[in-house]
Chains A and B, each alone.
Chain A
Amino acid sequence: MLSALLVMAIIAIVLGAVLGYSAIKFRVEGNPLVEKIDAILPQTQCGQCGYPGCRPYAEAIASGEADINLCPPGGEEGIHKLADLLGMEFKTFGGNTVIKPKAVAFIDENICIGCTLCFQACPVDAIAGAAKQMHTIIAYECTGCELCVAPCPVDCISMVPIEEKITTWKRKYPEQTLVLAQ
């Protein structure tokens, strides 16, 4: 009787020690789900979801606070991926969501007064310039988030849709008519 109790106690202590050690050793910093969600989001940092950036939105999804259909730049495909990841049902966008083609911002340098408001707004530092100097968009860094458009006091920023070039051309889904056997 006593030996049985002793054995059980020792086993409990050993297992407890293992668990305690592994809790320290294999500790996961932050919520790993947030990372996974963030990896799916398009990183435009546009804030169209109502959160200040992709990561805050990922955190909001992970905590169940936000819905998965709030990211227009991610497209329906993004929603599909999020639904798959989170084991949720696919949801279409809300009624007033507009999905725009991919674009980059363009500064009309004749109008720009060098106020620096746009590059304070740019979430990815894609605007070069200085106070009272002309600003310009670094096109290949621009995510097309449109956050610079509203702050411009002289409305010199426009969004230019990205045209398909020979280098970015994608093959289309094969056109094929399936003829079912009679």
Chain B
Amino acid sequence: MRTLYQFHGGIHPTGNKTQSTQCPIARMPLPSRLVIPFRQHAGESAKPLVRAGDRVLKGQLIGMPDGFVSSAVHASTSGTIAAIDMQPIAHPSGMPDLCATLIPDGREEWVPHAAVDYLGSDPAELRQYLRLSGVVGLGGAVFPCDLKLRPLRGHPNRSICTLILNGAECEPYITCDDMLMRERAAEIVQGAEMLRFMLEAGEVLIGIEDNKPEAIAAMRQAVTDSGLPFEVIVVPTIYPSGSAKQLIRILTGLEVPSGKLPTDIGVQCFNIATSYSVYRALAHGEPLLSRIVTVTGNVRQAQNLEVLLGTPVQELIALGEALPDTNRYIMGGPMMGMELASTDVPLVKAGNCIIAASDKLFPPAPPALPCIRCTRCAQACPADLQPMDLYWFAQSRDFGKAQAFSLFDCIECGSCSYVCPSHIPLVQYFQFAKSEIRAREQEKKAADHARERHEFREYRFEREKQEKAEKLAAKERAVREAVAASAATSPQPEIQAAIDRAKEQAATVEPKNTDNPTPQQQSEIAGIEAQREHIRELAKSSVEHTKD
């Protein structure tokens, strides 16, 4: 018998699970219209690969993963893409997001798909395959599954020693994992073996809360049948034992340090529905196209349905037949789920439960009273935080202090709000503070980036100026040098030669008529000279005359 551990705090809300486990999982009839959001996972939205008017087959890739944290999106059935546009989705902001509207043709025609021989494949290839199959964590975080299967960075020798399958399903009303384990235990176990193979994990532990005896029996039977050395461990029912860090604590006694991931302590945790999707993807080549959804609460027929992703929530509600006094709908559980602003939103990979709520079933919280610092929230907090202090910092927007008090270790489970005698919506304050801090970090990053670019620009200007000055100086220097050189050296040799030749010629040529004149010639010359002198005299006197 394995020793189980306890995590701090936790609460015991009424389970309300039996209503929806009375009948087996039903297949939801094909809806008349599917709206498939391109962001159904944590991280970047997938990039559309189809256009309005395209005919698509069931399982066809319509959204390509875009970015490191991203996953693929597929056509849930065969049909025609009617539009790619912004549609309302289930999001606390109530804002629309990019979706593909698919009109099914009813033929359910598959794209060619085949099983993958995972034992003969490289884990990196399998990860890429799972990424393109759109397999994400179905426990609620919808984190791309392939990223959780990466080898540990910075720990070349440290591998995952423990793989945990999370079948705790601690939140009230939700029974989709319970029913999946009851009905498809063998596939889940096979999927776990595939995950174990990819992670090269040592042991595999399957944790299930003790309020699901049928699921425990089915899983135990499946493990025995498979002959795999997995261990099904029954854990006590306490909320939130289904949170990864808390389940790791219960099963292994290890605590994930603040700000760290389970992989940092050699543990990895997957939801059982994720394991099932991994099995469908590798053993059948089927991408993630549907999921099990619990439709419960104030309905005539609470049950679990296998629903195609993109099915409008209102069709689910119509099938469950909500009672007339239903006044709102919750996607997810009563503890962590969100109220839907409209039921005209598609069901996505994260949508594990739809609860029809009435004031009778969920009486509205009385108005909040001031915090009396009773510390009941601190006693209930499974993350061992001080919610009353965090509340104080969040409501006064002292975000630095909130962060210093480990706000980001809060898993938003709602245990603190549940026990608060003053009915303070504590989790809403923490969500607000987290959102603000994240936005500020983004802003800071953008500011740092802008500063870097500005400084680089200034540096570039400075450099350009310097380069220009250097160029100018070099040019000036070159000109000056050329001038100096021409002044210093004698004329060019050809010219010099020409001058010398001319001089030589002048020297060698003998004057003929001026040398040795005859006396007659001399007298002639003297006569001419005298005449010239006379003319000069005349010219001079005439000039003087005109001057007068």
Contacts and interface: CB of A to CB of B under 8 A. Distances in A.
16 contacts: A42-B443, A43-B446, A43-B447, A43-B454, A126-B453, A141-B449, A143-B450, A169-B95, A170-B435, A171-B431, A171-B436, A174-B432, A178-B368, A178-B370, A179-B367, A179-B368
Given A174-B429, A176-B425, A43 B93 contact: no
Interface string A135-166: 00000010100000000000000000000111
Contacts of A179: 367-369
Interface size class of A (residues with CB under 8 A): 20 to 34
A69 interface: no
A141 B453 contact: yes
A173 B432 CA distance: 6
Contacts of A44: 450
A152 to B, nearest CB: 19
A172 interface: yes
A75 B39 CA distance: 33
A178 B435 contact: no
A166 B97 contact: yes
Contact of A170 (B39, B436, B454): B436
B368 A166 contact: no
Ranked nearest first, the 3 interchain pairs of A and B with the lowest CB-CB distance are A171-B435, A43-B447, A174-B428
Interface in A92-124: 123-124
Nearest to A166: B95
Interface in B429-466: 429, 431-432, 434-436, 439, 442-443, 446-451, 453-454, 456-457
A53 B370 contact: no
Given A166-B91, A171-B92, A172-B432, A125 B453 contact: yes
B388 to A, nearest CB: 15
Contacts of B91: 166, 169
B95 A45 contact: no
A107 B37 CA distance: 32
Contacts of A166: 39, 89, 91, 93, 95-97
Contacts of B446: 43, 143
B451 A54 contact: yes
Contacts of A38: 451
A16 B83 CA distance: 80
Given A43-B448, A53-B454, A143-B450, A170 B439 contact: yes
Contacts of A174: 425, 428-429, 432
Interface in A38-86: 38, 41-45, 53-55
A2 B410 CA distance: 69
Contacts of B370: 178, 180
A44 B448 CA distance: 10
B269 interface: no
A38 B431 CA distance: 29
Nearest to A181: B369
A56 B38 CA distance: 45
Contacts of A170: 435-436, 439
B315 to A, nearest CB: 24
B424 interface: yes
Given A171-B428, A176-B425, 14 more contacts: A43-B454, A125-B457, A126-B453, A166-B96, A169-B93, A170-B435, A171-B431, A171-B434, A174-B425, A174-B428, A177-B367, A178-B367, A178-B370, A179-B367
A43 B456 CA distance: 13
Contacts of B369: 178-179, 181
A162 B489 CA distance: 72
Interface of A: 38, 41-45, 53-55, 123-126, 141, 143, 164-166, 168-174, 176-181
A124 B453 contact: yes
Contacts of A143: 446, 450
Interface centre among B39, B92, B439, B454 (most CB of A within 10 A): B454
Contacts of B434: 171
Interface string B60-101: 000000000000000000000000000001011101110000
B95 A165 contact: yes
B454 A124 contact: yes
Nearest to A169: B93
A174 B394 CA distance: 10
B345 to A, nearest CB: 13
Contact of A176 (B89, B424, B454): B424
Contacts of B439: 168, 170
A172 B447 CA distance: 23
A165 B97 CA distance: 9
A55 B97 CA distance: 39
Nearest to B366: A179
A166 B95 CA distance: 6
Interface centre among B89, B96, B453 (most CB of A within 10 A): B453
Interface centre among A53, A170, A177 (most CB of B within 10 A): A170
Contacts of A181: 369
A169 B457 CA distance: 32
A78 to B, nearest CB: 11
Given A43-B450, A177-B368, A180-B370, A123 B457 contact: yes
A178 B369 CA distance: 6
Contacts of B95: 164-166, 169
A53 B450 CA distance: 11
B36 to A, nearest CB: 16
A55 B450 CA distance: 12
A124 B458 CA distance: 9
